[in-house]
Structure 1
Amino acid sequence: MPFAFPYGRWGSLAYAAFWSAVGLLLSVAALQDYHQVGGTRDWEPFVWEFSSAWVVGGLALGLHVLVGRWRRWPPGHRWLAWVAGALAFNALHVAGMLGLRFAVYAGAGVRYEPDPWSEVLVYEGAKDLVSYAILLALSHGIWAMQETSAQREELERTRRELAEARLARLSEQVQPHFLFNSLNLIANLMHEDVDRADRLLCDLAQLLRQTTAAQVAGEHTLAEELGLVRPFLALMQARFGDRLQVDIAASEAALACRLPALLLLAPVENAVKHDVARHTGPVTVALTAALRDGRLHLQLDNSGVHAPGEPDGGHGLRNLRERLQARWGADAAVQFGPHAGGMRLALSWPA
């Protein structure tokens, strides 16, 4: 996993400001002690504490990178790395801190005389051990959080890709199903009126071009979906004449709602195939759409008598259920059954 420090101007400034604030707080506390022992250069405690805080801040970044690598090591190697890291942290802290102090004192024209290295290492060692342990624990926690977040994002991405792949597979089943049913209806008409069948075939070709474009888009508005349903019903009205009556009513808010492309063609096909084609009297196919309580509600009614033997609505409605579940899961509702002498398909999902 790459180093996760928030690079960039604001991230760098925030990190520098944090360690500067730590140095300032320590400097103010050290200044009081400095005055008590007779110190006369008030800037000295600030140099001491800021040099220590800034070096620790820099070492913290390097430690975070190393912890990310150590986490992948075996436990025994990891313990050795922690111990070696503690010793290196102390040595680098002292070296960096004294280096900054020598530079500032030299710039001010003042001689800097630190304690012997051995004493400084021991004195700073106790504080460095505490700082190192805290930074080590924080770094482990940060890496654990990042790994958990990355795993969650990867899992969500995988689920989303699977859902999209499943939705695409289900969508691909719609167009052949729609095409075969339409061609069968036109084939029946060829024996009665060749000219009309030819016109219907041209209309069907135009409609197929539109459905192909919709299938590529994958999702569009209800208004665009009805732009496919209406031409299909017009084709069926040309086929069946007065035996098929169409009533479509949708509110403006409902027309703006989105849904999977070609979702309604299969149910409309079923209404024509099972009711109009098999019923001797006139049949009304009514499609209504409304937005209520943040959900889009669709109803498809037909006044004919549904053919028995497919209580679940057949292949078309099984496909529809799966597409809605792939898109909205349990939030999608599908109801299908007898209603007012005919059949009703009721759909709803979050708008």
Structure 2
Amino acid sequence: MLDLFILMMERVGLIILLAFLLVNVSYFKRILENRKQISSKVILIIIFSLFAILTNFTGIEISGNKIVPSNFLTHISENTSIANARTLVISVTGLVGGPSVGATVGGIAGIHRFFQGNGQGSFYIFSSFLIGLISGLIRLLLIKRQWQNKAWVYALVGILMESIQMAFVAFFSGTALAQMIAGPMIMVNGIGTFIFMSIINITLKQEEQAKAVQTHDVLNLAAQTLPYFRAGLKRESSQAAAEIIQRYTKLAAISITDKHQILAHVGAGSDHHIPEIEVITELSKKVLQSGNMLIAHSKEQIGCKNPNCPLAAAIVIPLFAHEKVVGTLKMYFTDETKLTYVEEELAEGLATIFSSQIELGEAEERSQLLKDAEIKSLQAQVNPHFFFNAINTISALMRRDTDQARSLLLQLSTYFRGNLTGARQTKILLSQELQHLAAYLELEQARFPNRYQIVVENNEMLNSALIPPYAVQILVENAIKHAFANRKENNVVAVMITSQNNTLILQVSDNGVGIKSELLDQLGKKAVISERGTGTALENLSQRLQSLYGENGKLKVRNKENGGAVFTLELPLEFKGGEN
């Protein structure tokens, strides 16, 4: 038994070594990250089937009660059997790829074992299929119970799967063989599964941590480039932005262009990629024309006409504003091997952020030309403090919950997209305002988990009604900031949207401490300074109602008898297209 155990550990050691090499291949990491896709499942089936077949070839032949020396078993003699790590590979396959992948690899490995034995041992086909299926189902159970990162569980799974295999061996090949190989096989399979899955989990965890760090750096980069891209695609601002981007990304060169010329080039090749000259690479011209990201893996693909250009690879990403290409961001490499999938993902993410910043800048420039001073004042009030609070919240989540951090980034994008819409228009759809409110609330709930309960009641028929931008969001934000003092629980804000007699009624109520009687008559009529704000938001909202609707636009404030306050907006009911 000891001899068999040592020989089996040698075989398993080979499998573990190959597994370690495999999980450090970037392509395989991407397969694991996207294992739900059918194409990824096919790749996993191919890879693990080869592993399983390899274990059949490297098995240990046993005749009677003796170990037959061999290195590579292409076939098995009559009345002999083999001890191998096939069950280990099938178990890992199910734990990695799920039932369909595990069962398929199990079936393939079992069929190979059947032909390897010259048509003997047909039960291996069914047993291997069953083990792959069961281990895959166990994966689903572990995910449901959030045990997928508990390595000791995988050791138990390996022991269980090999025990099932030994039960088949005992029933079909006799108990004598099972008694001889069961102990070493079960122990080795448990240890091997534990090590194999630990390698995979540690590698994936390191990838997640690396992405979290990268996301944190990207947020810092976005915060630093924000003022420059908001200034528009100009030479001075682009030069400053390019220097920041290169410092954070540590790339060989960064270049920014508009649709016609190079605005900034920092790093290698700056002797001939000079600002103020026409866009010189064919690659950049193609991106400007197509609006699609392009990747060059050689100097020839970049298309620079200078024979001494050191740039060997590049990613060129279009920059958009209002769905139109306004320029490009170019990330250059002097070593083409450093252009990896990670850099491609980073480039796409940066382009999205910078495009949003450019669009934000253009919208702000347009807003300066608007005559509606109330909207501009409100825009200036909402953006800065909320943006940095949200960035700080997302940064804090990077280390412990990357999925939530990604979700909040999307909500932050939605929020500022709503701000851009509000800066350009004096009236927006109620549905747009509610989307803007939802993004704001998710970001606030992330900052203060479970502190506030927000209830929204709305007649969907009113979704196409037109209202001033931020009308509901301001009232909800006002309740969150001022209604509950320092109370940390049982804080409820209710939003009710109804219509009556061609009047749209937007009501926001809370169960807070209420409003001091001496302040009730002042809210909405003048700035009411408090410890948590300047008091201008309600005043601006009231003034916008007056300028848009005259006497037909009203902001009413009252206290509830049982505690709390009610803010009510009454507007003429107006739908997009002029319908009432």
Q: TM-score range by the shorter chain?
A: 0.3 to 0.5
Q: Which has the higher contact order (CA 8 A, sep 6+)?
A: 1
Q: Please give the TM-score of this superposition, normalised by the length of structure 1.
A: 0.47
Instruction: Write 1 or 2 for the structure with the bigger share of helix.
Output: 1
Structure of higher CA gyration radius: 1
